[in-house]
Amino acid sequence: MDNLSDTLKKLKITAADRTEGSLEGCLDCLLQALAQNNAETSEKIQGSGILQLFANLLTPQASCTAKVANIIAEVAKNEFMRIPCVDAGLISPLVQLLNSKDQEVLLQTGRALGNICYDSHEGRSAVDQAGGAQIVIDHLRSLCSRTDPASEKLMTVFCGMLMNYSNENDSLQAQLINMGVIPTLVKLLGIHCHNAALTEMCLVAFGNLAELESSKEQFASTNIAEELVKLFKKQIEHDKREMIFEVLAPLAENDAIKLQLVEAGLVECLLEIVQQKVDSNKEDDVAELKTASDLMVLLLLGDESMQKLFEGGKGSVFQRVLSWIPSNNHQLQLAGALAIANFARNDGNCIHMVDNGIVEKLMDLLDRHVEDGNVTVQHAALSALRNLAIPVVNKAKMLSAGVTETVLKFLKSEMPPVQFKLLGTLRMLIDAQAEAAEQLGKNAKLVERLVEWCEAKDHAGVMGESNRLLSALIRHSKSKDVIKTIVQSGGIKHLVTMATSEHVIMQNEALVALALIAALELGPAEKDLASAQLVQILHRLLADERSAPEIKYNSMVLICALMGSESLYKEVQDLAFLDVVSKLRSHENKSVAQQASLTEQRLTVES
């Protein structure tokens, strides 16, 4: 280290004199010292004030320029040296050197800038201001087709520099995207896929850029899907495949790229991985099975890619995914159920699947997960059943297959995601199915659980779905027995509260159900309707200019139905409903205006 101090003193003198020979010797000594103990040597360099002199040594003509850039690259490996490099004014001359024709100068300059940018806001900012990124991208563009080792090494360094420059920085990533870095990198990957280091750099760069929404469109206009799938097929090492997966996952969020990946044959690769890894307990294999099956499900989220793989229910991919459901592997069961839920996004697919026995497979799967079951599998299988129950023709078939009985086994679940899907599935099944709605609506256990969930303030989704199912049981059954069960379980107040929901559809469903209660079974419900302040709420809905026309219409229908109760009618009279209703006679909506006239007549006659 004494030797180093002498070298630094000597360097100060020779740097000022520009004595080329002595300068080279001093720089070689520094590089040697850095190779032996980088951190300590770097500290000495910083303390000596020599960094400021380096700025003058970074000239394109000097023979020692590459060595100076190399020293800067080495010292900038230390976090504590990055800001001093910026403060010493090294960025601008380094960026100028990017215009050099000398490959060694370019290589060391790229390393120096890349290391200064690593995890350093100041470094990135200085390179940004000096315009370094554009010059590097232009280099990559012109070097792209060259396959000699020196050019490939330089491209690897430049890719690394751009990565360090933009890593986890959205605005700099967006800048690179606007400069057209994506098509250049995709081209690089295609030409240099045999070069492991360069390929790896491209993949990491893609991984960074793919997280940005604005990148997806640019990626979609390249042949990235084809290149990645080609590369994926060549990989046997878990780590390499994992790197490609990390790029595929964010890219596959884009529907156009989903389709391109399907067309490039990614699905076949994924199915092969699943087949290879399904029986393995090794940590890497389990992780890869999960990644492959998750990605498969993600590809099915795009309408076009999903329909292409469904192939009218005859597709080999669809058939393979089906075989995952009876498997003993929880991850595959989950992916299989989620895939079915994704295939079940249009009526044609749903009808075909129900006719071909999917419902029974899903019911068997749920039966395997009733006691201490896997919550994610329960949730996925219920999602699939809910989607399958949407087409009208499927409802009766699913009901006769015993779906409601299977679903009700999860009534005791304490997991909100499972509760939410269970409620949605039942609501879909009973839509316009009077007999099923009556059967479920007379099930006191179910209704009591619904009333309990109507108070689940921490879980808005469960609360909303419980209210909607409660209302649906009445609306679709039109049954006095169902209304009695709901009254006895204390459900009335929740339907009244639902009439004040911020969602018009829920308000409307509540008002229709309440009108049926008032028409069919007003006596038993009278007390609960009064204590829930239904009349005051209806007055508020009619007086509120923001209320939708259907809300005003159904509120007036309900007012007329409530006149059958003496105590509720007295409340109507006390609140001067006539004033509000008579104003609605001139409402722009004809149905509202007509109902206002009818309601006004009823109110006048009764009074």
Q: Is 412 exposed, middle or buried (0-12, 13-18, 19+ CB in 10 A)?
A: exposed
Band of pLDDT at residue 21, cut at 50, 70 and 90: low
The predicted-structure confidence for 208-233, as pLDDT tens digits, reads as follows 898 888 899 899 999 999 999 999 99
The C-alpha atoms of residue 241 and residue 232 are separated, in whole angstroms, by 6
- Predicted pLDDT of residue 16: 62
Band of pLDDT at residue 528, cut at 50, 70 and 90: very high
Band of pLDDT at residue 17, cut at 50, 70 and 90: low
Q: pTM to 2 decimals?
A: 0.82
pLDDT at residue 470 tops 80: yes
Band of pLDDT at residue 487, cut at 50, 70 and 90: very high
Q: Which helix (H) or strand (E) holds 268?
A: helix 266-277
The C-alpha atoms of residue 389 and residue 412 are separated, in whole angstroms, by 22
The C-alpha atoms of residue 40 and residue 33 are separated, in whole angstroms, by 9
pLDDT at residue 2 tops 70: no
Average pLDDT over residues 23-51: 89
Chain-centroid distance, C-alpha 240: 24
pLDDT at residue 248 tops 60: yes
- Predicted pLDDT of residue 148: 94
The C-alpha atoms of residue 433 and residue 431 are separated, in whole angstroms, by 5
The predicted-structure confidence for 106-154, as pLDDT tens digits, reads as follows 999 999 999 999 999 999 999 999 999 999 999 999 999 999 999 999 9
Of the chain, the percentage scoring pLDDT greater than 90 comes to 76
- Whether 120 and 83 have beta carbons less than 8 Å apart is answered as yes
pLDDT at residue 358 tops 80: yes
Give the Å distances, CA to CA, from 24 to 13, 21, 106. Answer: 13, 5, 19
The C-alpha atoms of residue 484 and residue 361 are separated, in whole angstroms, by 36
pLDDT at residue 607 tops 60: no
Higher pLDDT, 78 or 50: 78
Mean pLDDT of the chain: 92
Q: Is 131 exposed, middle or buried (0-12, 13-18, 19+ CB in 10 A)?
A: exposed
Q: Could you give all domains of the chain from N- to C-terminal order, each with its CATH number?
A: 1-130 (1.25.10.10), 303-432 (1.25.10.10)
3-state secondary structure at position 500: coil
pLDDT at residue 442 tops 70: yes
- Predicted pLDDT of residue 18: 60
The C-alpha atoms of residue 470 and residue 427 are separated, in whole angstroms, by 9
Band of pLDDT at residue 331, cut at 50, 70 and 90: very high
The predicted-structure confidence for 43-57, as pLDDT tens digits, reads as follows 998 888 888 888 888
Higher pLDDT, 19 or 512: 512
- Whether 154 and 110 have beta carbons less than 8 Å apart is answered as yes
- Predicted pLDDT of residue 50: 86
- Whether 183 and 215 have beta carbons less than 8 Å apart is answered as no
Give the Å distances, CA to CA, from 132 to 24, 175, 253, 316. Answer: 27, 12, 31, 50
Out of 168-182, 307-321, 326-340, least confident range: 307-321
The C-alpha atoms of residue 381 and residue 365 are separated, in whole angstroms, by 8
Band of pLDDT at residue 604, cut at 50, 70 and 90: confident
- Whether 225 and 257 have beta carbons less than 8 Å apart is answered as yes
pLDDT at residue 514 tops 80: yes
Band of pLDDT at residue 63, cut at 50, 70 and 90: confident
pLDDT at residue 12 tops 80: no
Average pLDDT over residues 173-193: 93
The C-alpha atoms of residue 506 and residue 469 are separated, in whole angstroms, by 11
